[in-house]
Amino acid sequence: MMAAPSLDQVRRLLDVAPDAITVSRGMFVLMLEPVDLLDAVRLLKSELQFDLFLDVTAVDWLERSPRFDVVYHFYSTAHFARARLKVLVPAPDPVVDSLTTLYGSAHFMERECHEMHGIGFRGNDDLRPLLLYEGFKGHPLRKDYPKQYEQPLVPYRER
Amino acid sequence: MGSSTIPIRAVTDRSPAFEYFSTKKDELVGWARKFSLFPYPFVTACCAMEFMAVSSSPYDTDRFGAALPRFSPRQSDLLMVVGTLTHKQAPILLKVYEQMCEPKWVMAFGACATSGGFYQNYAAVAGIDKIIPVDVYVPGCPPRPETVIDAIMQLQDRIARSHHPILTDRF
C-alpha cells in the first residue's frame, strides 16, 4: 500500500489556493471553480488513485449567491483516503461538467442529482428522471419546492 | 362479539348429535368467510418485517384462517398494504385492488399506510385511503403483532356481522 497523500501533495498537484483546501475528519475538502472541476478530478484519479466515485449531490442555499453547492465525494481504494469537492454554481441555470468520461457510475448519480436539485451536467446526455415518475414537475429537494406539495398519479377518492 | 353472532346452535333434546340447526343465512356465510381470509401482502417497506413475524409460527395468523398469502390478487380477498405508499406506486396498488374479486377487504398496516406516517413530502401518499377504501387501520411504526391480530379479529367481526350480497331470496 502506498502512503496516503499529504495535504501539501494535493495542494501542489491541483495548484489551488491555500485556503481552498482543508482537511475535515481526515478527508480532503476542496473548493473549486466550476471550470477547474474536470481537470482536478482527472488529476485526483490518475495521480492520487481516487478511483471510486462515491456520490454527487447538491446543497441549495436559497438566499445565497451563487445559490448551489455541488458536492462530490471520492474514495481511494489504494490509500483508503477520501476527498470532497465543492463547486459553487449560480441559480438560474446551474450547470457543471459531467464526470461520465472519468467514472461510469457518474451516469446514474448525475441523473439523480439532476432530477432532485435541477443541476445540469454538461456532457451527460441521458438525464432522464431516475427515481421520480414521468410528468413530475420541478425539483423536489430544492428549498423553494413547497414541502407538502404533491403530484398524485392517481386521482384521490372523494370522501 | 356477543354470543348471538355465533351462528350454529345445535338443538339437543334427545341426543348430543346434530339433528338440525337454525341460523341466519348472513351469519352462516359470514362465519365461513371470516375464517377464510386469503391475504395479498402488498409489501413496500420496513413493516414487512413485522408482517413476517405475525404470519409465522410464534403469532400464527393461521388460527384466524388468514395465514396463507396469495401472490395473485385474483385469488385473495384481504389486501394488506404493508408499508409506505409512494405516488409512483399508487397506480400499481390501484390496479391490484381493482383486480381483486368481490368480496374484498383492505387493511392499512402501519402508520405509513394509515396516514403517511412521518412522511409529509413530495414522494409519499398520506394514507392509502386517498386511493382505495380501507376497512381496518393498524396503528404502529411498525405495529406489534398483537395489534395486527386484533385488527384481523376486528375485521372478522365485521365480516361476520355484515350482509353478504351473494344471498338472494332464491338461495
Give domain status of residue B116, yes or no.
yes
Q: Residue B38's closest CA among B79, B10, B5?
A: B79
Tell me, yes or no, whether B3 lies in a domain: no
Residue B93 falls inside a structural domain? yes
Residue B83 lies in a domain: yes
Question: Would you give per-residue pLDDT tens digits along chain A (159 residues)?
Answer: 566 777 777 787 877 777 888 888 888 899 988 888 998 899 889 888 899 999 999 999 999 989 999 999 999 998 888 999 999 999 888 999 999 999 999 999 999 999 999 999 999 888 898 899 988 988 999 999 998 888 989 888 876
Provide the whole-model pTM: 0.82
CATH number of the domain to which B162 belongs: 3.40.50.12280
Residue from A132, A153, A159 whose CB has the most chain B CBs within 10 Å, to mutate: A153
Indicate the number of domains in chain B: 1
- In chain A, what residues touch B90 (CB-CB under 8 Å)? 152-154
Q: Is the ipTM of this complex over 0.85?
A: no
- B156 falls within a domain: yes
Phi/psi at A137 (5° precision): -100, 135
Domain spans, chain A: 7-122
In a domain, B153, yes or no: yes
Give the CATH class of A7-122. Answer: alpha beta
Task: Pick the residue of B87, B122, B125 with the most A CBs within 10 A to test the interface with A by mutation.
Answer: B122
Report yes or no on B80 lying in a domain: yes
Residues with Cβ within 8 Å of residue A33, at least 6 apart in sequence: A87
Q: Which domain holds residue B115?
A: 45-61+71-166
Angle at CA B122, nearest 5°, toward B120 and B124?
Answer: 60
CA distance B66 to B80: 11
